[in-house]
Amino acid sequence: MITRLCGAAALALAPLIGAGAELSHDGLLTVDTHVDIPPTYMREARYDVGGDTALKVDLGKMERGGLDAAFFVIYVEQGPLTAAGYADAIAQAELKYAAIELMLARYPDRIRLATTPRQVREHHASGLLSAMIGIENGYSLGRRLDLLDAAYARGARYLGLTHTGHNAICTSSGARPEFGDAPAGDVGLSRFGRSVLQRANALGVMVDVSHASDACVRDVLQTTAAPVIASHSSAHARVPHPRNINDALLRGIAANGGVMQVVAYSGFLKLDPEREAAVASLQEAVARQAGATEFDSDRHEELPTYRQGLARIQREHPVATLEDYLDHIEHAVQVAGIEHVGLASDFDGGGGITGWLDASETPNVTAGLRRRGFSDQDIAALWGGNLLRVWSEVERVARAERTR
């Protein structure tokens, strides 16, 4: 396997991997760019991540698996573009910000907020975990730029422009006809979306194009002053799912200096229409049983009926494997170059594959990369070096914007 880590990038990664010795997983600085949290995170004992939980990511699993840093996600599902819809989205986001802050206040001797790449490295050197904050779906900003400033002040360092369903910022890779969405076609960023992008660049917030339509990704690449990320996507050339990034856009992200974080989400890693149909049927039944019009992952994934049904489906239609995941990583590296690829789990948001089912199994990914022939420098780049480089460049652009 041929990788392309340039001299400058290799020098930048040297402090992370040491000199002259093979890197063990324990020596890595590992960054996962997408970990979801439930609505009652830290408020219910079962979601208090200081102890053993049913979550795929808690502090013990991070410590045992050597997952050093994670972006915990302020996810809000798309809703109507109305005053009431925006008010509800803002309230949902506030619950998750407060939950992350509660975790940090309760366990400061184990995990700390990191708002800069330097802090991530300092925490790692001190034996502490790092929590970063990412936003999934700019819907929770309403139509107010000042809420992006407020999110930055709370610690948010990337903004996922959209989720499933178009919003006021841009079109999504998945339209929601119940909200009047038409296929995105050539419609990408809105005028408001361009203002959001410019403000993100000025603040030093990474712009995340996962979930965005192809047209939106193209518009972002043409408009942004800073490198972008795709916080949790995989390779469309291997699995033609609308959520995956095609090779042309992947090359565009590389040319922009950005990074695509390949995600361990089964549906994006292998085609399995029978599993998808079974899960859709289960979700419909669980939602109906709960008296809801549609399945809501935040509210319904923890119900016993759903968990039992999902276990049955898993026996009949297993999720993707670590080898499937490594195939996508290799493809992305071949197309974009080693400097423009990273890793993400989407744990507790549907992510998890055989071989990397939760944070405690993180060393399996490192071992798999080594089996595929990736060097120590490659692995350090994939596990966090590339993301931290992009984040640092986004900070540099913001400083330059402030001095103009």
Per the rule left: phi > 0, alpha: psi between -120 and 50, beta: everything else, 155 is left
Mean of pLDDT values over 137-144: 96
Rounded Cα distance between 88 and 92, Å, is 6
Shortest CA distance to 85 belongs to which of 180, 8, 156, 224? 180
Task: Count the alpha carbons within 13 Å of 112 in the hemisphere toward its beta carbon.
Answer: 16
Whether residue 97 is predicted with pLDDT greater than 70 in this model: the reply is yes
- pLDDT of res. 2: 38
Whether residue 3 is predicted with pLDDT greater than 80 in this model: the reply is no
Summarize pLDDT for 388-402 with one digit per residue, the tens: 999 999 999 999 988
- The label of the residue with tokens 């991997």 reads 17
Q: Which of 14-18, 41-45, 280-284, 328-332 has the lowest mean pLDDT?
A: 14-18
| DSSP assignment letter at 356 | B
Summarize pLDDT for 329-343 with one digit per residue, the tens: 999 999 999 999 999
- pLDDT of res. 20: 37
Mean of pLDDT values over 79-108: 97
- pLDDT of res. 404: 76
Mean of pLDDT values over 271-293: 91
The values of phi and psi at residue 154, to 5°, are: -80, -10
Whether residue 158 is predicted with pLDDT greater than 60 in this model: the reply is yes
Number of H helices, E strands in the chain: 16, 9
- Tell me the pLDDT of the chain averaged across its residues: 93
- pLDDT of res. 282: 94
Whether residue 373 is predicted with pLDDT greater than 60 in this model: the reply is yes
Name the token pair of 101.
Answer: 């802050």
Rounded Cα distance between 283 and 256, Å, is 39
Q: Which of 126-135, 290-299, 360-369 has the lowest mean pLDDT?
A: 290-299
Mean of pLDDT values over 159-166: 97
Mean of pLDDT values over 121-133: 98
- pLDDT of res. 299: 81
Summarize pLDDT for 37-92 with one digit per residue, the tens: 999 999 999 999 999 999 999 999 999 999 999 999 999 999 999 999 999 999 99
Whether residue 8 is predicted with pLDDT greater than 60 in this model: the reply is no
Whether residue 16 is predicted with pLDDT greater than 60 in this model: the reply is no
Tell me how crowded residue 148 is: count the other CB atoms within 10 A of its CB. 21
Whether residue 169 is predicted with pLDDT greater than 80 in this model: the reply is yes
Q: Three-state DSSP class for 389?
A: helix
Name the token pair of 9.
Answer: 């990038």
The values of phi and psi at residue 104, to 5°, are: -65, -35
- pLDDT of res. 11: 40
- pLDDT of res. 23: 61
Mean of pLDDT values over 256-270: 97
